Structure 1
Amino acid sequence: MNEFIEGYCDGWIDDLALFFGSHPEMGISLDEVRLLAPIPELKRNITCLGKNYAAHAEEIHGMTGGPSEIPTHPIYFTKAIHTVIGTKEEILSHENITKKLDYEAELAVVIGRKGIDIPKEKAEEYIFGYAVANDVSARDLQTGHVQWFKGKSLTTHCPIGPWIVHKSVLPLPLTLDIKCYVNEELRQSANTGELIFDVPSIISDLSRGYELRPGDIILTGTPAGVGMGFDPPRFLKSGDEVCCMIEGVGSIVNKVK
């Protein structure tokens, strides 16, 4: 998949859609396969945004007592690429090192072209497509290490899937409902139209002096309703099932082990 994204052109997607539309017998039922992560051997970066929904920024303020101002610049951090798993795979609880495991439903943007200093109005040209992601987070490791990389990068803590929806199916601007359920209980509900920094703004800002490459993944931020936002907090535990879904993209379901 890395090679396909790096070498593809938009015309290929149209050709594939035409071919399979004309030859439905060539398709395979989802019941007959096990879906892996869309890019199972990720070679590029995972860049994430923090506090990119106003309600979530306020939620964090309520928990920490820190400043509640809406960010004036995107807040970036990264996850290790080995954290990626697909839908139906298990999220390891790592109970020996974290007691505050949390969920974060997010829209993932997959970059399809190399670019630097990308103008906002041309951002869509550099997108390959979209997926659903769960930015699983060990909150105690985040606070204990001050920087977030460790708390965001435990093995299996980045479910992505269930597939990549090509950008032609979801033209900008994106106004997609995003939800997260834990054991079928709704925890998060918002719309990507509520992003403080929308997808074109993120791509334009991130690419300033920084080259984006095919296969790079950007997690655009999570809405309010994360486990640590409840009083008392409602962190994940072994046996919990987390379902993250985005309108027009799909859903990923992962159990905590």
Structure 2
Amino acid sequence: MKIITYIDNDTEKVGLVSNDGQRVFPIKTLGYAFESVNALIDGADDATWAKLKRLVNDPQQTGAIAFDQVKLTAPIPHPKRDVLALGLNYIDHVNEVAKYMDEDPAKRAEPIFFAKHVDRAVGEGEATPAHADFISSWDYEVELTVVLKKEINHFVKPEAVEDYILGYTIVNDMTARELRKHVESFFQKSLDGSTTMGPWIVTADELPFPPAKRIRLWVNDELRQESNTGNLVFSIAECLSTLSKGMTLRAGEILATGTPNGVGAGMVPENYLKAGDHIKSEIDGIGQLNINVKD
């Protein structure tokens, strides 16, 4: 099952997509009054999710909209808190950006966590600003991203983490490379439009755990990034378990798991985004996220 936020008369609404990808059910036609995906996650338990999946895939169920009539936006346009993210979590990406590091990151024994501030996430078919009046190094990073379905804390063991995962989406972690001069990742990762997300959340029952799927990104039809999400240095289970030792992560919390090599900063010469560029991110089993770069 796919969970979406779509735009109807300038209003964000929650919908569920059938397995065949042809029908979208507004959540209210299924008997639920949730006004946002965050509210749905907060209000649904395992029995609710099972019922929703059954209704969405019932060929007799009424109230659907044809998928091609729906305008998508980010599945969670307004995250509850900053998006959590992992840095340097594919070894090939570690190698390509080693020139910027003051240490040998390949020898790091612990995951690198940081947070992306999000004013509003950018969704399928929408645009991220180039910020050309401010920066000249707007970069892309395609990432498998996890969404939690319930609160996780008090040291959840790695083998239990799967039970806390609602599903997966794609995040393109836009990054202003020259702002690394501020040392911490927060500013370079948090400009407006830096969190592009979508096209939907695929529920965890649709993918194996942990997902080992081909991940790719194109800029203007040029393939720039290609790897497999099974190549993470630090696994989803390990990272969420580590965070749970001392943090409470809420239902709806979002974790972007890192990017493979091929980013603009790693190319020779460096090759950054500009207004007019089109970015297509893809993870097998999840889908494609198409984003444009605007002035």
TM above 0.5, one fold? yes
> Do the aligned partners of 2:217 and 2:279 also contact (CA within 8 Å) in 1?
yes
* Residue 152, structure 1, aligned to residue 189, structure 2: yes
For 1:198 and 1:72, the matched residues in 2 are separated by 13
> Do the aligned partners of 2:147 and 2:168 also contact (CA within 8 Å) in 1?
yes
Structure 1 outlier segments of 4+, above 4 Å: 62-66
For 1:63 and 1:227, the matched residues in 2 are separated by 13
SS of residue in 2 equivalent to 1:149? coil
Which stretch has the larger CA shift, 69-78 or 194-203? 69-78
* Residue 135, structure 1, aligned to residue 173, structure 2: yes
* Residue 57, structure 1, aligned to residue 57, structure 2: no
Higher strand share: 2
Q: Which amino acid aligns with 1:222?
A: T
Decide which of 84, 98, 108 is 2:135's aligned counterpart: 98
Q: Hey, what does 1:6 align to over in structure 2?
A: 42
Which stretch has the larger CA shift, 98-107 or 4-13? 4-13
Closer, same or farther: CA 91–121 of 1 in aligned 2, 3 Å: same
**Normalized against structure 1, the TM-score is what?**
0.95
Shift of 1:81: 2.2
Which stretch has the larger CA shift, 95-104 or 14-23? 14-23
SS of residue in 2 equivalent to 1:150? coil
For 2:216 and 2:61, the matched residues in 1 are separated by 31
For 1:64 and 1:212, the matched residues in 2 are separated by 30
Shift of 1:45: 2.9
Shift of 1:87: 1.1
Q: Report percent identity of matched pairs.
A: 38
For 1:126 and 1:18, the matched residues in 2 are separated by 21
For 1:205 and 1:65, the matched residues in 2 are separated by 25
Higher relative contact order (CA 8 A, sep 6+): 1
> Do the aligned partners of 1:43 and 1:81 also contact (CA within 8 Å) in 2?
no
Structure 1 gaps, min length 5:
none
Which stretch has the larger CA shift, 68-77 or 244-253? 68-77
Higher helix share: 1
Decide which of 157, 171, 175 is 2:212's aligned counterpart: 175
For 1:179 and 1:2, the matched residues in 2 are separated by 28
Q: Hey, what does 1:15 align to over in structure 2?
A: 51
Decide which of 113, 124, 142 is 2:162's aligned counterpart: 124
* Residue 233, structure 1, aligned to residue 270, structure 2: yes
For 2:185 and 2:137, the matched residues in 1 are separated by 14
Alignment of 1:176-195 (within 5 A): 176-195=213-232
> Do the aligned partners of 1:59 and 1:224 also contact (CA within 8 Å) in 2?
yes
Q: Hey, what does 2:11 align to over in structure 1?
A: none
Closer, same or farther: CA 24–176 of 1 in aligned 2, 3 Å: farther
Give the length in aligned residue pairs.
Answer: 256
> Do the aligned partners of 1:188 and 1:225 also contact (CA within 8 Å) in 2?
yes
For 1:249 and 1:36, the matched residues in 2 are separated by 16
1:85-127 Cα shifts (integer Å, max 9, x gaps):
1111101011111100100000110111112111101001111
Shift of 1:177: 0.7
For 2:247 and 2:102, the matched residues in 1 are separated by 33
> Do the aligned partners of 2:77 and 2:120 also contact (CA within 8 Å) in 1?
no
Shift of 1:37: 0.9
* Residue 40, structure 1, aligned to residue 77, structure 2: yes
**Normalized against structure 2, the TM-score is what?**
0.83
Q: Hey, what does 1:84 align to over in structure 2?
A: 121
* Residue 254, structure 1, aligned to residue 291, structure 2: yes
Shift of 1:30: 2.4
Q: Which amino acid aligns with 2:170?
A: V
> Do the aligned partners of 2:118 and 2:192 also contact (CA within 8 Å) in 1?
no
> Do the aligned partners of 2:151 and 2:251 also contact (CA within 8 Å) in 1?
yes
For 2:140 and 2:285, the matched residues in 1 are separated by 21
Closer, same or farther: CA 42–181 of 1 in aligned 2, 3 Å: same
Q: Which amino acid aligns with 1:130?
A: Y
Q: Which amino acid aligns with 2:118?
A: I
Shift of 1:18: 1.7
For 1:148 and 1:172, the matched residues in 2 are separated by 29
Shift of 1:60: 1.0
For 2:267 and 2:61, the matched residues in 1 are separated by 47
1:36-88 Cα shifts (integer Å, max 9, x gaps):
11112222231110000011011111455742524310101110121411111
